[in-house]
Structures are given as structure tokens and as C-alpha cells.
Amino acid sequence: MENFAEQAQAWVTQYAPVALTAMVTLIVGWIVAKIITGVLRRVMNKAKVESTLVGFATNLTFSLLMTLVVISAIQKLGVPTTSFVAVVGAAGLAIGFALQGSLANFASGVMVIIFRPFRAGDYVEAGGVSGTVEEVQIFATILKTPDNKRVIVPNASITGDTITNYSANDTRRIDMVFGIGYGDDIKKAKEVLEDILAKEPRILKEPEPVIAVSELADSSVNFVVRPWVKTADYWDVRFDVTETVKLRFDAEKISIPFPQSDVHMHQVA
């Protein structure tokens, strides 16, 4: 029993300072890494760098700093860092093969951050999902759909597919189609449509709206109506104009036909 106590005391005397030094290295390193990333975040925010890039850069910097801190702490424990780095490299290679998908998402996240096809707050269609960009993380991008769903899209799916950014430009064109009956007055219908667009203050004067007969369909004569609006007004104007057209057509006795077919019956003796 006395020998065990002596051995334990000798072990504590020999290794406790080393373990304490390694622990202090970890704690101090963590604090320093937090301070550095905090300073980096403030500098980037002061420079008005896009918030997505700020979050990505600070997270990546913190991860790299903590990796160095952990290696330094292991060195304090007396483990040869050369062999440790070799082991980590071999393990990293094996993990890399096992996590090819995750590494692809990471690389895609870097590409999204560098080339910035969209920013936080933009409404996009990417990776087969449409929604407002909330955050671009290292492995995935978080979107919020119009019905308030939170969708996490892998970055590899985004860069490997078409990206449509509806918020990139200040203005957008609304493409609408309205049909009238073959017995209705085309000129009158066109005048009504022109009057509706002229009285809508959110429709831009330049570029000039387009109103034209586009098709002689099976059951209707179709007009294309293409006004330009500010991107933020797109859906409000589209909904309001559609409602106004229906009300005005009703008031002007202009019919909006529904699909129909003529059936001819022949009586056979």
C-alpha cells in the first residue's frame, strides 16, 4: 500500500505540472482564438463586409486556431508533434475518403462565399428549393420558404445546379396572360388593359409595359401583359393587377372564356 502511494505521489509530481501546462495552454488558446475571431468579426462588420462572408471567415479562422492550440497542448504532454501530425494526416486521408460528400459540400461552401451568387436576404431558387437565404454555413445553406419552413440545402447541391437569384436586380418584369372571347372587341380590351397599367403607380414608366395579342387559342384571344416593377413590389402588383383586370372586364362586359368544346351529334337512322 505504501509503495502504491509512493508511486502515485511520484506520478503526480512528475506529470501533474505537464498536464496542468497542457490544460492552461488549451484554456488560454481558446480565449485568444475567441479574441482574434471577435476582432476579425468587428473589423469585417466595420468594413461593411457581407454578413454571410463574415460568419464563414470567423468560423473557419476559429477552427484553424483551435487546431494549432490542440497540437500545442499535445506537445506540452510530451507527445512528439511530428509523429502526431503524421498520424493526423493519415487519419485525415482515411476520413477524407469516408466523407467525400462532406468535403464536396465544404468546397462548394467556399465557392459560394467567394463568388457570392447570392447574399443573406436574397430570394433564390437553388438546389431544387426556393426561399430566402438566411445563412451560408460551411457545409450547407439555410433557406426560409414563403410558408416559413426552414430548409437546409447541401452546398454541393447548390453549386452543382442552376441558381436563380430573384433579388439580384432592382427591377423585374411581370409576365401575365389574359384571355378574351372571340366575340369581344380586341381594341377595347387593349385600351382597358392600358388604362389599368397607367393607373397603377407601382408600375415603372421605363421600360415601357408591353400589351399585345399573343395567341389565337382554342377558346380565347390571349393578351400578354408585361409591366416592369421594383423587385420588392413584384407579387403585390401581380396580384392587384390580376384582380383589377377581372373587375374591369366584368364592368366593360368583356368576357373571360373558360375552356370549352363544341359537340356535334349526328343521328343515324
Instruction: Report the 10 Å Cβ neighbour count for 125.
Output: 15
Within 143-266, where are the H helices?
Answer: 155-159, 186-198, 234-251
pLDDT for the residue numbered 259: 74
Q: In what order do the strands lie in the sheet with 210-216?
A: 176-180, 221-226, 210-216
Written as one letter, the residue type at 64 is L
pLDDT for the residue numbered 139: 83
Query: Domain segments of the chain: what residues?
Result: 2-98, 117-165, 171-251
What three-state secondary structure class fits 260?
Answer: coil
Q: In what order do the strands lie in the sheet with 140-144?
A: 150-154, 140-144, 129-136, 123-126, 164-165
Q: Is the domain defined by 117-165 classed in CATH 3.40.50.300?
A: no
Q: Say if residues 126 and 163 touch (Cβ distance below 8 Å).
A: yes
What global pTM score does this model have? 0.63
Range 220-236 average pLDDT? 95
Q: Say if residues 224 and 214 touch (Cβ distance below 8 Å).
A: yes
Cell triple for 104: 464536396
| Selected residue with higher pLDDT from 66 and 148 | 148
In the predicted model, is pLDDT for residue 264 greater than 90? no
For 215, phi then psi, to 5°, come to -160, 140
- Distance CA(202)–CA(200), nearest Å, equals 6
Domain 171-251, CATH: 3.30.70.100
In the predicted model, is pLDDT for residue 113 greater than 80? no
What are 172's strand-pairing partners? 229
What are 141's strand-pairing partners? 136, 153
- Distance CA(11)–CA(31), nearest Å, equals 30
Task: Read off the pLDDT band of 223 (50, 70, 90).
Answer: very high
The rounded mean pLDDT for the chain is 83
Domain 2-98, CATH: 1.10.287.1260
Which runs of E-coded beta strand occur in the chain?
123-126, 129-136, 140-144, 150-154, 164-165, 171-173, 176-180, 210-216, 221-226, 228-230
Taking only the tens place, the pLDDT of each residue in 68-107 is 888 777 777 666 666 666 666 666 655 555 455 667 777 7
Give 3-state DSSP helix, strand, coil % of the chain, rounded to 5. Answer: 55, 20, 30
Taking only the tens place, the pLDDT of each residue in 131-184 is 999 988 878 899 999 999 999 999 988 988 899 999 999 999 999 999 999 999
In the predicted model, is pLDDT for residue 222 greater than 60? yes
Task: Read off the pLDDT band of 41 (50, 70, 90).
Answer: confident
Q: Say if residues 220 and 181 touch (Cβ distance below 8 Å).
A: yes
Q: Say if residues 137 and 145 touch (Cβ distance below 8 Å).
A: no
- Distance CA(32)–CA(37), nearest Å, equals 9
Residues 102, 104, 107: CA angle, nearest 5 degrees: 110
- Distance CA(90)–CA(80), nearest Å, equals 16
Taking only the tens place, the pLDDT of each residue in 184-220 is 999 999 999 999 999 999 999 999 999 999 999 988 9
